[in-house]
């Protein structure tokens, strides 16, 4: 007779993540970006969870709470920007077309793609400036090609030396300016994408002591 007590419902160990399952979730996230349901930063945060997941339960959190429709106010796709003696700025939640043309005379153009919805695998941005600057802000891990022509101005590509994140769109900036600069940059992340995704789900990120079991 076995006198050792046994649990009535023994816990089933969580299954580990297969490469196929990881790819399926990645494909779903890419479709969500193409459908305008996730911004670039949201996609990258969830992708960080996908490649860091050890169990299928952890993997499923990457597709949790994907919105069913784009946020209000993002339905109009930005294709053209034009101003004289003023500045054009796009930031926050906005929808970027696969081709954007910006013209500015005595003014600047600033495009922040960190919160933008991108519907294609490549975005081509053309800026024509007279006495004005062009600024492009992208999340870390986004590949950007900077080309064009500047007379009495500078072109500066100031991106973090990190690999391109798979599945992210390529950005091409063609900047043509007379007495103006073109600057591409990204802001340094103070926390990891996983930590920011945890905050999106309403959870505080794990501290090093939590991970060590202290």
| Ordered DSSP codes for 49-99 | HHHH--BHHHHHGGGTT--SSPPTT--SEEEEEEEESS-EEE-SSEEEEEE
The answer to whether residue 208 scores a pLDDT higher than 70 is no
What is the Cα–Cα distance from 166 to 149, expressed in whole angstroms?
30
In this structure, the number of other CB atoms found within 10 A of the CB of residue 179 comes to 14
Residue range 92-124, pLDDT digits in tens: 888 899 999 999 999 999 999 988 888 788 999
Q: Which of 42-46, 140-144, 200-204 has the highest mean pLDDT?
A: 140-144
pLDDT of residue 137: 95
Residue range 69-96, pLDDT digits in tens: 555 455 568 889 999 998 999 988 888 9
What is the Cα–Cα distance from 151 to 191, expressed in whole angstroms?
39
Q: Which residue did the predictor score with more confidence, 12 or 18? A: 18
What is the Cα–Cα distance from 164 to 73, expressed in whole angstroms?
29
Phi/psi-derived region of residue 88, left when phi > 0, alpha when psi is between -120 and 50, beta in every other case: beta
Range 159-174 average pLDDT: 88
Eight-state DSSP code of residue 191: S
What pTM value is reported for the model?
Answer: 0.66
Phi/psi-derived region of residue 89, left when phi > 0, alpha when psi is between -120 and 50, beta in every other case: beta
pLDDT of residue 194: 54
């Amino acid at each position: 007779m076995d006198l050792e007590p046994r649990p009535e419902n023994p816990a089933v160990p969580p299954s580990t993540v297969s490469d196929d399952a990881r790819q399926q979730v990645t494909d779903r996230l890419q479709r969500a970006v193409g459908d305008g349901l996730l911004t670039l930063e949201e996609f990258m945060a969830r992708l960080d969870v996908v490649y860091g997941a050890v169990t299928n339960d952890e993997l499923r959190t990457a597709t949790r709470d994907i919105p069913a429709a784009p946020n209000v106010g993002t339905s109009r796709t930005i294709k053209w920007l034009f101003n004289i003696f003023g500045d054009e700025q796009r930031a926050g939640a906005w929808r970027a077309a696969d081709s954007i043309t910006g013209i500015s005379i005595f003014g600047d153009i600033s495009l922040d793609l960190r919160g933008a919805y991108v519907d294609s695998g490549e975005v081509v941005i053309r800026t024509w400036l007279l006495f004005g600057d062009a600024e492009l802000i992208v999340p870390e891990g986004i590949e950007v090609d900077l080309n064009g022509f500047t007379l009495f101005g500078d072109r500066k590509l100031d991106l973090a030396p990190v690999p391109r994140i798979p599945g992210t769109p390529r950005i091409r900036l063609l900047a043509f300016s007379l007495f103006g600069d073109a600057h591409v940059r990204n802001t340094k992340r103070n926390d990891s994408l996983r930590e920011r995704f945890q905050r999106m789900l309403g959870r505080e990120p794990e501290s090093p002591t939590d991970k060590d079991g202290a």
